[in-house]
Structure formats: structure tokens, C-alpha cells
Amino acid sequence: MVTSLNGDWRGTSNGTWTQLLSVPENAGGSFDFYVQYYERTGSSAINVALEEVQPTAEVTASTLNLRSKPSTLNNTPITELNSGTNLKILRKVQSANDTSVPDWYQVVTPDGRQGYVAAPV
């Protein structure tokens, strides 16, 4: 799919222009990025820098269970995460066997533990 990003460029405080591109969370795979830039003065120049942003979340419930797999069935929590705990989100996944809680996030805790937390409904 080719997408045209029509004129959504933003000026920054240091005089440069920037544009934010977002990829859907379930897109997966790799992406090719092409830039066409035209300037009416007869010359053109563009510098493209791509950054991957790591999504984060903060626990807002009093506690949140961290589990070893994306399911509540036969899966005792690894630990309870306290309110205010910051998490790095690796990806969103679907449970293969838990229809009561189908949506999960694979996360990393501040101390480096990986696991799954139920996605908010």
C-alpha cells in the first residue's frame, strides 16, 4: 500500500520541519519508506531519520497480575504489579484459549521481567 502524507509537516522550535508517521500496532513485518520532496525554488533537500518508539503504559489499578502466558486458565500470576508501575509494551496478542479475557499485552517490567497483562476492555 502506498500512502501519501499530504502537508502534515510541523515546524519545530529550532527551525526544522518534522512529520510523525505511525504504523498500526498489529501491522508487523517490515516497511519501506520513500520520500518525494518538491520545492518551488528549483532546489530540494531532505534528511530523513526514522525512529522506533517503544510504547509504554502505567498500571492504574491497585494491582495488576503479570502472567507467563496470555491466559487466566491454569496460569497462576508470576507477580502482582502495583499501581504506578511503568511497563514497556512489546506487542498486543490474543489468547489462544481464554475467551473471557481474549486481549493481552506482552510487557517488560522495570526490573526486566517479561510477561503478559490483560488488556483493558
Task: Match 497483562 to its residue by C-alpha cell.
Answer: 117
Which pLDDT score, from 0 to 100, does residue 2 have? 46
Residue-wise pLDDT for 28-62, tens only, equals: 556 666 665 555 665 556 666 666 778 899 999 99
Q: What is the largest CA-CA distance in the chain?
A: 67
CATH number at residue 111: 2.30.30.40
Q: Give a yes or no: residue 64 inside a domain.
A: yes
Residue range(s) defining the domain that contains residue 99: 56-118
Residue-wise pLDDT for 77-121, tens only, equals: 999 999 999 999 999 999 999 999 999 999 999 999 999 999 976
Name the domain count of the chain. Answer: 1
Which pLDDT score, from 0 to 100, does residue 69 have? 96
Q: Give a yes or no: residue 1 inside a domain.
A: no
**Which residues are bridge partners to 63 per DSSP?**
82
Q: Give a yes or no: residue 75 inside a domain.
A: yes
Give SS3 for 64. strand
Q: Give a yes or no: residue 72 inside a domain.
A: yes
CB count within 10 Å of CB 71 equals: 19
**Which residues are bridge partners to 115 per DSSP?**
107
Q: Give a yes or no: residue 100 inside a domain.
A: yes
